[in-house]
Structure 1
Amino acid sequence: MSRATCAVLAASLAVLGALAASAQEPPRPEGTVVPLDARDLDAAGLAVDRRALIAQALAGGAYEQAQVMLVEEATRNPRSPELLRLLGGVYFVRKEFLGSAIAFKKAEALAPLDERSRFTLAMSYVVLGRRDWARPELQRLSQSAPRNPLYLYWNARLDYDDGKYAAAVDGLLQTIALDPRFVKAHDNLGLSYEALGRNDDAIRSYQEAVRLNREVAAHSPWPPLNLGLLLSRLDRLDEAEPLFRESVRLDPRFPQGHYQLGTALEKKGRAAEAVEELEEAARLDASYAEPQYALARLYRRSGNAEKADRALERFLALKKEKGQAGGPR
């Protein structure tokens, strides 16, 4: 084994040993945004037949077709904020977040943005990873609608992302005061407490997130995962295992849940079950490096050197692709 490979493995071991740290759900604001408003179509001054075609496309979910027509209309009438707001909303629905942000900023140059449009713009910035652009938009929204918990939540989430954990706690407590059943707010409050080393408070927040998550229609696998991760880090594996199982039951295609369940099973000496979960995590996300490393360790322990070598090679290749020696996802 080369010196470079040894260095990668040493760094990876150090990081993988701390993988029980809880994880924040990736930004998926689409479900919290209503990016389209038919009133913009009514106010855009379009020909009756053209308006009918666009309305039909939007109502039928034919967003690519609607986008083509809206681009054509915005090109003919570049000073229509209504068309640009509609176009920004369609871009957002189609996950073209840069195009969405550009369209909304062009609209804002012509007329003030309404609350819905400004929030969609802010969420586009969040998904693009531009927290510095999202924050002033969210702050304006919080100032104009101080009792909207969604704006407080996203401001607090940006605080967490920026390492301002105490500020995140304050913002999330305000969010929960306005909406006590906001699952993500409780989950992120747990993350913030955990980052501050307040594990007892974190556990209580995670437990409330898990409880509420069981009662809502759209269950998330993240609250049980995060509570399980903290309990695992505290060597409370018997409590963590059922939470990881709950996570993958809520979303059988959740690779992080299968990985953490496999890791917990390995720690409990149940190697065959661990391999099954880790292989499922790797199958669900071919770019997920950590299951490959754990599998290499388990394969080698069981005497299957060939499979161990392949898994280790895959792990190293994935880390090289990401330009890093290790790190949790």
Structure 2
Amino acid sequence: SAGAFQDPPTATPEPTPEPVPLAERLVFGAPYIHRSGVVQTARPLGDEWQVSEYLSNGYSGQIPTVFMINNLDLVVVHHYLRSGIAFETLDTLSTEFLTTAYFAAEWQEYDTWAETARTVTGEAVITDFALAVNDLDFLARDVSSVVESWLVVTRVVVPADSPELLDLLMDEVLARLVVYPQMLALPLGWPIHADQDLGVMLEMPPAMTLGLDVPGQYAMYWLMTGDEAGDHPYVELHALESEVADVRDWIAVMYPDAAIIDAAASDAAAIDGNDLVVYTYVDQTGVERCVLGVLVSGADGPLAVVTATAMAAEVPNWLDESTLPPLYSDVKLVITQGIQVLVPAAE
């Protein structure tokens, strides 16, 4: 019969569910830290977010930049820092730097732009815009402030029909934005190691290579000097396995036969009040090592110990600059200037 070979009935189309608005699904993960170590910002979760970063060269120096672009929801979050900004007040920053010519260059990727509002607060210059590109309309907000002669810029772009999203996203991003001025003391091109479990970040000379990384417990970097067969100095980040009040306590537990040969106070923010301590010990191979160690402390107490180690035959005393071979001074800078306590992620 005809029914024996009847084709399946024509299916009915299923309506596509309305997409969940970004404001209702906006969730942030662990902070995103620019490779310069200068900027820590919010990292939205979701495959729709694409993150890119740069360290470009500007007329006043290198410019750390982070873009977070969401093409699904047509949203952009943009951070950048620019050095050499020396204005006495935010009012003068607003009138003399954040000019029409400046913003014309900043919005050059858009077909049209217009400033719609500007406010100077005690902390920042806040400027709103109406933008258009490819027959699409957008709202944008630029929040510019100055930290130690660095211009710190955060921008958010959203579709023109989402003013509430502009407010929400900018508030959430600014609440999670952290600038680490301490990291500006060393070259911006130096790479970082950020252990968010321990809450510690290290800035390294480019010649250092990662040897081992166990987040929350341990990391080690070698200084590669060109002699692959040689004995290379190295930097280690150690989690604390017991309560200590001073790096000497840690040394006594980890290296009970070590001899402390020198010490000096430090004024670096992450280790302020904690002495830099030099000690020597003989390792399992019979080689005498000289170590520079320091206890890293946060607002709630000690977090970790950071050490730099070399053969005592090459470095008799890390605190005696005249004894350090070439490149070893850079390794010492990791301990004396390259340590930063991370700000925990905002809830």
Q: TM-score, normalised by structure 2?
A: 0.25
Which is higher, the Rg of structure 1 or of structure 2? 2
TM-score (norm 1): 0.26
